[in-house]
Amino acid sequence: MTWREYHESTKHSVESLRRSLHALDWANMPDPFRHYEGVPVLDLPADPPAPETPVFEVLNGASGSTSAGDGPTFLSQLLFYSGAISASKRVQSTGDRYALRVNPSSGNLHPTEFHFLARGLTDWPDGLYHYIPSAHMAEQRALGDLEMKLTGSSAPIVFVLTSIAWREAWKYRDRAYRYCLHDIGHAWQALALAANAIGCDSFAVGHFPDDEVAEFCRFNEDEWPMLIVEVRGASIPLREPDARETVWYGGRANQLSEETIAYPAIDGIHNATKLSNRACRGISAAEPAPTGSGEITLPPPASSRSSFGEVVRMRRSALDFRGGTQSMSLTQLSAILAATARPLLADFASARFIQLYLYVHRVDGLQPGVYRHWSERGELERIGSGDQRVAAAGLSLGQDLAGNACVAFSMIGDLERATRAHGDRGYRYVHFEVGAIGHRLYLSAEMLGFGATGIGAFYDEEVHRYLNLAPDRGQVVYHFAIGYPVSDPRLEA
């Protein structure tokens, strides 16, 4: 299996959907919460302080501050604003509730788990931890000095984000691996921005030896390490690291469902995108992204004073948008696009692989049409004109929300350039980048009073045809919509 074979075989088409008669087996739905049973569980203090810095500033590279004066409060704050439960929904027919989190996830299935190494935090033992969002607590899987030698990282907090692909495959089958990668991109950006909001820097490492990291962290075999995120900064309450020997508790991973169904295509793409220890010596630089220009220069962006803490905990995916005539201003669109163009701090992100195409439905000062965003110059190039509502919804597998939004997006990934530089591993990096961009779209939309929804379901080749994209210009890897959200009767605070 190569990235190309996997990608081709997981494209949606009218025909592929007609052929696939997949019924969800609710009795076998995977548990959305992983536990490592039999290990000490440490409390993260409830109600950590809310980061007050405006999210607009954080999205534009400013660093905030924290009043957290000890390790547990600091960790609690970082996780409460990146991966915690933030709301619930009630199924109207049964009354059952389910949880929603700060980080979004396709189908709300949450394949991503947050693990972290802590070294030298005050009042918090050095060791390896697994975050349990259901209780906002941390399972202590190992105690002692566990410096992440595999990546050469000596940061005081090092996250290892893992994917449990079965959680996603239960619903989305072979295409699920794509969504696992998107979700990692969202979780990475949720962590990176929360770290910035409380006065830290972060750096993501995608280029690491998979099996060695999995072994080092003693992950259960269904959890795959996908991204390492180092967090450092003067605001972290620190002491000298422990010198004591490592004590392993490990823990027994809970079984997520009665039966785990094998998806050979997912195992195949995962193995194809793995790196061995030998392959990890230095990451090569990718060719730079092509540059271009458009006839519309975006105006200075609209601003917002909404605090990071408030926006992050309020963020939700819109069920649909109110169509009608209410529009978005060009300065608001400018702010949303500017937030996607900021540097992403990762070993694979020095050259960017994603370009945004916009289906503009209702933006003041822009004719309805299709536009290409040239992020370096802050310009839009019109490549198609006329009403795009039916096309945007149709291309998004007939989902009305892409037509009722003010603006919808096709995000085009340069998979060829990424894999020329990084081999099959580049397939992951394109999806991490697009997930990170998606996360920035969610937060910038929310801060301006809009709603947003990530859209993983689209007719791949139809999008390429509609946008007149030659294969060497990239392939669609994510859709997105932003507009005025309808209220969601299932939502509870």
Ligand X SMILES: Cc1cc2nc3c(=O)[nH]c(=O)nc-3n(C[C@H](O)[C@H](O)[C@H](O)COP(=O)(O)O)c2cc1C
Q: Kindly list the residues in this chain that would bind ligand X in the complex (CB under 6 A).
A: 100-101, 104-108, 179, 182-183, 186, 316-317, 399, 453-457
3-state secondary structure of 357: strand
- Min separation Cβ 305 and ligand X, Å: 23
CB nearer to ligand X: give 316 or 425.
316
Least CB distance from residue 104 to ligand X, whole Å?
3
Type and span of the H or E element at 402: helix 401-404
Closest to ligand X by CB, 275 or 455: 455
Report CA 477 to chain centroid distance, whole Å.
13
Report phi then psi at 150, rounded to 5: -65, -30
Q: Which of 160, 147, 248 is nearest to 210 (CA)?
A: 160
Write down the least CB distance from residue 164 to ligand X, Å. Answer: 15
CB of 237 to ligand X, least distance (A): 30
> Residues 6 or more apart from 440 whose CB is under 8 A from it?
59, 189, 339, 340, 342
* Shortest CB 431 distance to ligand X, Å: 9
Q: Whose CA is closest to 338, among 447, 201, 474, 426? A: 447
Smallest separation, CB 179 to ligand X (Å): 5
Question: CB of 457: closest distance to ligand X in angstroms?
Answer: 4
Nearest residue (CB) to ligand X, 159 versus 432: 432
* Smallest separation, CB 108 to ligand X (Å): 4
Looking at the Cβ atoms of 85 and 272, the one nearer to ligand X is 85
Residues 6+ apart with CB under 8 A from 281: none
Judged by CB, which is closer to ligand X: 108, or 154?
Answer: 108
Q: H-type helices in 81-201, by residue range?
A: 165-172, 176-197
Compare residues 84 and 457 and give the one whose CB is closer to ligand X: 457
Rounded Cα–Cα distance for residues 42 and 252 (Å): 17
Name the minimum Å distance from CB 149 to ligand X.
33
Q: With respect to ligand X, which residue has the nearer C-beta, 66 or 399? A: 399
Count of other CB atoms within 10 angstroms of residue 110: 25
As a whole number of angstroms, the distance between CA 442 and CA 424 comes to 28
**CA-to-CA separations, 431 to 77, 155, 188, in angstroms, rounded:** 27, 25, 12
Q: At closest approach, how far in Å is the CB of 402 from ligand X?
A: 9
Question: Looking at beta carbons only, is 139 or 183 nearer to ligand X?
Answer: 183
Nearest to 133 by CA among 223, 217, 32, 231: 32
- Which residues have C-beta within 8 Å of that of residue 87, sequence separation ≥ 6? 99, 100, 316, 491, 492, 493
In the bound state with ligand X, the residue whose beta carbon lies nearer, of 98 and 234, is 98
Question: CA-to-CA distance for 183 and 113, rounded, in angstroms?
Answer: 10
Residue 332, classed as helix, strand or coil, is helix
Write out the two tokens for 97. Answer: 């509730």
Q: How far is CA 99 from CA 13, 18, 32, in A?
A: 32, 32, 9
Query: How many residues are present in the chain?
Result: 493
Rounded to 10 degrees, what is the CA torsion of 252, 257, 258, 260?
A: -100
Q: Which CB, 179 or 371, lies closer to ligand X?
A: 179
In whole angstroms, the minimum distance from the beta carbon of 119 to ligand X comes to: 31
Nearer to ligand X, 119 or 479 (CB): 479
CB of 435 to ligand X, least distance (A): 7
Reference 59, options 334, 321, 338; nearest CA is: 338
CA torsion through residues 322, 460, 418, 185, sign:
positive
Number of CB atoms found within 10 A of residue 421's CB: 18
Is 334 or 399 the residue whose CB approaches ligand X more closely? 399
Question: Quick check: 406 and 484 in contact, CB under 8 A?
Answer: yes
